[in-house]
Structure 1
C-alpha cells in the first residue's frame, strides 16, 4: 500500500501511547500512598528512564532511590536544617512533608561530564529528558508519580551529604512514586497557538 506524502504508515502509529501522552497528569505527592513499586518494578521504570537522548553517550545523570527509611531520615534532617537556619515555617514544612509523606522517591542527580565535545547545556537537557522519561514510565506502569524539587534539593548544604553528591553534582528532581489515592486535579494546559510558529520559507 502506497502511503501518501505527509502521512505515517498506520501500522507504525501507536494509538495507545499517543492517548497516554495526550492525557498524562502528574499526581501530587499528598495523593500518593503505599504500596510503591518494589525494586524489580522500579528497575523496569529506571531502565526506561535511562533510554533518552544522550550526545556522546556520557550518561550525565544517575538515580538515587530513597526507600521509606531514607525518606524518614531526610524528613528529620530537613526539619533540623530548617530550624537551625531559621527558615520560614511554611517553607520548612514543604521541605519536610514531601519526604515524610512520600512512599518512595527517586532523586535524579545531574552528573556533568568534563568534555569539549558536548556542551554543558546538552548534558543538562539529557538530564531533563531522563526525568521526564522516568515520570512517564512510572505513570505508564500504573503508579502515581510527581516530579518536585524544593529547597532541600537546591541547597547543597543539606542535599550533598544527604544524597551523597560528588563535587559538581546537583539534584535535578525528586520523583515521588506510589499508589494514587484520589484522582489528580485538572489544570489549565498551554494554548498551542500562542507558542507555535510555522516557518515554510
Structure 2
C-alpha cells in the first residue's frame, strides 16, 4: 500500500470547529447520506452494526431545545433562568446535529464494550466525513446523553445509549490549532520480564 499524503496531512491537521461557530448552509440530503455511509465504515467485530443515527435539523432543533429546557427546569429547579435558557440553544446554531446511539447488546462472542467502541468510531468517522465534504463538525455528549428522560425524548430506546451528538455546519471562523498530546510521552514498549 502506498502512502496517501492527502489523508496523512488531513489527519495531522484535523480540528474541531465548535458548535457556536457552525452555521448555514448545512449538508443536503445526498451529502447527509454520504456522511452516514462513511460514518458506518468502522471496525466492527462480528459485523453487528450496533449503532444508529438520529437526525435533528430544521425546526426540530428548536423543538428539541424547548423540550431540553423543560426537562432541565424539572431536574434543576434551583438553576437561574439564564442557565436554563442555554438548554434551548443546545442544537443551535449548527444546521444539522446527528445523534449517534449505541445499540450494544449481549452477544455470545462480541463483548458489549467492543460494540460500544464501534459506535464511538462511527461518531468520529462522521466528523471525518463532514470535514471531507467541506463542513465543520463538533462531537459532544453533554448531560442529555446520560439522562434517561432526555435521552428517551431525543430518540434512545430502552437499553440504548447515546455515544455522542455531532453538530455539523459551515465553519464561520478559522480556529487556531491547540497544543496536542505528546505521543512519545504516552507510549511505552512492552518488555518480557
Q: Distance in 1 between matches of 2:94 and 2:189?
A: 43
What's the CA shift for 1:200?
6.4
Q: Distance in 2 between matches of 1:80 and 1:74?
A: 10
Structure 2: 5+ residue runs without aligned partners?
A: none
Q: 1:118 to 1:74 in 2, by over 3 A?
A: same
The match for 1:194 is 185
The match for 2:174 is 183
What's the CA shift for 1:93?
4.7
What's the CA shift for 1:186?
2.4
Deviation digits for residues 54-73 of structure 1 (CA, Å, limit 9, x no counterpart):
11111110001111211111
- Say yes or no: does 1:99 pair with 2:94: no
Q: Report matched runs for 1:11-30 at 5 Å.
A: 12-30=2-20
What's the CA shift for 1:87?
5.9
What's the CA shift for 1:166?
1.6
What's the CA shift for 1:88?
3.1
- Say yes or no: does 1:69 pair with 2:54: no
Q: Distance in 1 between matches of 2:113 and 2:129?
A: 24
Q: Distance in 2 between matches of 1:54 and 1:91?
A: 40
Q: 1:14 to 1:94 in 2, by over 3 A?
A: farther
Do the aligned partners of 2:100 and 2:164 also contact (CA within 8 Å) in 1?
yes
Q: Report matched runs for 1:1-201 at 5 Å.
A: 12-85=2-75, 86=77, 88-89=79-80, 92-160=84-152, 162-199=153-190
What's the CA shift for 1:154?
1.5
Q: Distance in 1 between matches of 2:186 and 2:97?
A: 33
Do the aligned partners of 2:62 and 2:89 also contact (CA within 8 Å) in 1?
no
Question: Which sits farther off after the overlay, 132-141 or 182-191?
Answer: 182-191
Q: Kindly report the root-mean-square deviation, in angstroms, between the aligned alpha carbons of the 2 structures.
A: 1.7
Aligned residues: 190
Structure 1: 5+ residue runs without aligned partners?
A: 1-8
**Normalising to structure 2: TM-score of the pair?**
0.91
